[in-house]
Amino acid sequence: MKANVMDTIQGKLPSQAKQMTSVDILRKALPEHKTKMPEEMMLNIIGARLENPKRSVVQIGNTVFLTYRPAPGVVEFDTYTVENKKNLTNSMSGFFKFLKNQNIKKATTTDEPLYVDVTREAARIAGTKVNVGQKTEKVDGKIRPVYAFEVTL
């Protein structure tokens, strides 16, 4: 039996914002992730990974969360968005509430420094706790700061 890889939750968007599809959000957000892979190749890789029943897509508003469940009660996620900081905070808060309703106890990700405030505020709104740690990683030959987030749901 093939898993349903698309869990879509319609978030509330400002009246001027148009709801985009997950693929359109990924297409627009992928360049922000500064990957050296061509967009179509990256989308094909994402699509192939979604064949694994432990992986899924959750869309809230105009933000896509690609998730992986390495163990029961644990989710690793990547965030792709075309939203401003305020709307992203609301979408991420909704995502944390969604995970909590799915009996997920811990969600982890690593991301850019700009997500520190957003993740902390989203966790506060969702009534969860977040621990943030910093490390560095080499990307495109340059050392850059990366933040590790662990949200306790």
Q: What are 73-116's pLDDT values in tens digits?
A: 999 999 999 999 999 999 999 999 999 999 999 999 988 777 88
Q: Is 6 inside any structural domain?
A: no
CATH code: domain of residue 30 = 3.40.630.30
Q: Are the C-beta atoms of residues 132 and 116 closer than 8 Å to each other?
A: yes
Q: Is 13 inside any structural domain?
A: no
The residue among 54, 48, 56 whose CA lies nearest residue 69 is 54
Q: Is 9 inside any structural domain?
A: no
The residue among 55, 52, 58 whose CA lies nearest residue 22 is 58
Range of the domain at 99: 18-152
Total domains in the chain come to: 1
pLDDT confidence of residue 34: 60
Q: Is 59 inside any structural domain?
A: yes
Q: How far apart are CA 102 and CA 81, in angstroms?
A: 22
